[in-house]
Amino acid sequence: MAFGCQDLEPAILESEPVDPLFVGSSTALLHELRDLQDISRIELGSAPERYDEMLADLRKFYRSMHSGADFQLNDEDCFRWVWLALRDGAERAIRQNTVLWSGPG
């Protein structure tokens, strides 16, 4: 039996009474992100300012953010940042044969 992305319905697990935990497929997430990219008018997939810096050295990036550095994302860049983070995370999860995780711990 073959499964397509439409067959991979996400589920919600309750880790706490009010904190749902998303359980889904990284492959399906990538397909959905590409679908969004295809219909988007805001160039999803292009890296906003400092995104590459954040990827290169997360600790240095956070230190610079708390040192008073002027950094502001507009709405479109915020969407691009989140889209890239989800895409990069899903691709890494697939490469490392693990789950995409954003929960505590």
Asked whether the beta carbons of 80 and 74 are under 8 A apart, the reply is: no
Residue 1, pLDDT score: 34
Which element (helix H / strand E) includes 28?
helix 26-39
- What is the Cα–Cα distance from 35 to 8, expressed in whole angstroms? 16
Higher pLDDT, residue 23 or 20: 23
Instruction: Say if residue 92's pLDDT is above 80.
Output: yes
pTM summary value: 0.70
> 15 or 6: which carries more pLDDT confidence?
15
Work out the average pLDDT over 82-103. 87
